[in-house]
């Protein structure tokens, strides 16, 4: 009885949090439809002005929804990474996936000369595929150098090394093809400004199956939380599950990075915020982290458009500042008020 009651309470709290996150996203969607260079005037004129309606329907709504889905992908990837590697500091970018994805996009741009923000579905799918391949290569190279995930310090050092090496390779590609420099700069800063309905559809098509696969494997993550030896003693197929989770991590990260560029701290902060509110199983944690990541990036996108309107900040810069401040505050709190 004492076990069932906390589980039931955690389940109810998880449902309440999920509902709150969905309502918050709905509110930010409405707010995002009115925030932009022309302000809320476009909303007021939308019923009678075709141009105002086009601004809302073709620019603001897909951008805001795209930010929600991209944040969901990053939040999901962060929760998977932290559960898979049993490390609360793990995020989608820590193990070389972001550097690998950026290198894949740079190579695709250098070879085919396409803008990363082109509207063509084929271009979008091609860049997503390049980012996915690069993210997989980065993660697998990190795991190979670290000889698996048994040694946390070796894993973190391998991730740093792989990130530096792949980042240098990306810079070499950029130097060899200087015409892609401007596109890569926008990509590295991170922006949702060029996300349209096509990008939203691509990311949504990735989010749904990756979330389903991660949910199906969540019980294995619960077993891994008890330790490698305990999980193996339970008869869990660890090798196959690791491969599937790494694929989920790489695909979710690659899809988000390909459409929005490098957006920092969302994947790291979202699972932390969820765990600070409720202690629950990985199945619920994965879903709530995706919802939390979507809400965080939506809020950052709206704020980036509003702070210096009619101009706007790169959303990746804003999330880095806010996310870094949050982590510093968290470290200060856990250290008892003294750094």
Half-sphere CA count of 91, side-chain side, radius 13 A:
23
pLDDT at 86 over 70: yes
Query: CA dist 19 to 14, 291, 295, Å?
Result: 9, 10, 12
| pLDDT at site 5 | 42
Structural domain of 221: 4-334
Instruction: Please indicate, yes or no, if residue 156 is contained in any of the structural domains.
Output: yes
| pLDDT at site 64 | 94
Instruction: Please indicate, yes or no, if residue 98 is contained in any of the structural domains.
Output: yes
- Selection from 315, 208, 217 nearest residue 252 by Cα: 208
Instruction: Please indicate, yes or no, if residue 339 is contained in any of the structural domains.
Output: no
Instruction: Please indicate, yes or no, if residue 204 is contained in any of the structural domains.
Output: yes
Query: CA dist 271 to 34, 75, 280, 290, Å?
Result: 29, 7, 11, 8
pLDDT in tens, 124-173: 566 767 877 888 888 889 888 888 666 656 877 888 899 999 999 999 99
Instruction: Please indicate, yes or no, if residue 242 is contained in any of the structural domains.
Output: yes
Instruction: Please indicate, yes or no, if residue 70 is contained in any of the structural domains.
Output: yes
| pLDDT at site 76 | 96
User: In three state form, how does the secondary structure of the chain look?
Assistant: CCCHHHHHHHHHHHHHHHHHHHHHHHHHHHHHHHCCCCCCHHHHHCCCCHHHHHHHHHHHHHHHHHHHHHHHHHHHHHHHHHHHCCCCCCCCCCCCHHHHHHHHHHHHHHHHCCCCCCCCHHHHHHHHHHHHHHHHHHHHHHHHHHCCCCCHHHHHHHHHHHHHHHHHHHHHHHHHCHHHHHHHHHHHHCCCCCCCHHHHHHHHHHHHHHHHHHHHCHHHHHHHCCCHHHHHHCCCCHHHHHHHHHHHHHHHHHHHHHHHCCCCCHHHHHHHHHHHHCCCCHHHHHHHHHHHHHHHHHHHHHHHHHCCCCCCCCHHHHHHHHHHHHHHHHHHHHCCCCC
pLDDT in tens, 263-279: 988 998 899 899 989 88
| pLDDT at site 79 | 94
Instruction: Please indicate, yes or no, if residue 311 is contained in any of the structural domains.
Output: yes
| pLDDT at site 3 | 40
Whichever domain contains 14, its CATH number is 1.10.3470.10
Contacts of 217 (CB under 8 A, 6+ apart): 241, 244, 245, 248
pLDDT in tens, 166-193: 999 999 999 998 888 877 877 788 888 8
| Residue pair 11/39 in contact by the 8 Å Cβ criterion | no
pLDDT in tens, 2-59: 444 446 777 888 999 999 999 999 999 988 887 766 666 565 566 666 777 777 878 8
> Domains in the chain: how many in total?
1
pLDDT at 202 over 60: yes
- Selection from 117, 69, 55, 110 nearest residue 314 by Cα: 117
Instruction: Please indicate, yes or no, if residue 154 is contained in any of the structural domains.
Output: yes
Contacts of 224 (CB under 8 A, 6+ apart): 83, 84, 86, 231, 236, 238
- Per-residue pLDDT band at 334 (split at 50, 70, 90): low
pLDDT at 319 over 80: yes
């Amino acid at each position: 009885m004492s076990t069932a009651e906390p589980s039931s309470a955690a389940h109810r709290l998880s449902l309440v949090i999920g509902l709150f996150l969905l309502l918050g996203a709905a509110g930010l969607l409405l707010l995002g439809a009115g925030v932009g260079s022309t302000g809320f005037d476009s909303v007021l004129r939308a019923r009678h002005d075709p141009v105002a309606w086009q601004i809302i329907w073709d620019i603001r709504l897909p951008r805001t929804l795209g930010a929600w889905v991209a944040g969901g992908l990053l939040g999901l990837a962060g929760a998977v990474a932290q559960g898979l590697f049993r490390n609360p500091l793990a995020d989608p970018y820590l193990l070389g996936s972001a550097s690998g994805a950026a290198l894949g996009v740079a190579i695709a741009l250098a070879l085919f000369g396409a803008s990363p923000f082109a509207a063509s579905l084929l271009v979008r799918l091609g860049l997503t595929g390049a980012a996915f391949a690069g993210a997989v290569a980065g993660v697998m190279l990190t795991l190979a150098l670290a000889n698996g995930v048994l040694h946390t310090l070796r894993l973190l050092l391998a991730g740093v090394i792989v990130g530096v090496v792949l980042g240098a390779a990306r810079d070499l590609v950029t130097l060899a093809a200087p015409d892609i420099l401007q596109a890569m700069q926008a990509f590295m800063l991170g922006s949702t400004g060029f996300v349209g309905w096509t990008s939203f559809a691509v990311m949504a098509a990735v989010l749904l199956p990756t979330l389903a696969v991660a949910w199906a494997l969540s019980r294995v993550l619960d077993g891994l939380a008890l330790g490698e030896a305990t999980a193996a003693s339970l008869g869990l197929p660890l090798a196959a599950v690791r491969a599937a989770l790494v694929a989920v991590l790489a695909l979710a990260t690659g899809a988000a990075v390909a459409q929005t560029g490098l957006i920092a701290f969302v994947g790291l902060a979202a699972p932390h915020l969820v765990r600070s509110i409720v202690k629950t199983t990985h199945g619920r944690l994965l879903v709530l982290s995706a919802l939390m990541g979507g809400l965080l990036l939506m809020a950052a996108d709206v704020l980036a458009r509003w702070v210096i309107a009619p101009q706007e900040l790169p959303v990746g810069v804003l999330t880095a500042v806010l996310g870094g401040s949050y982590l510093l505050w968290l470290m200060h709190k856990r250290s008892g008020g003294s750094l």
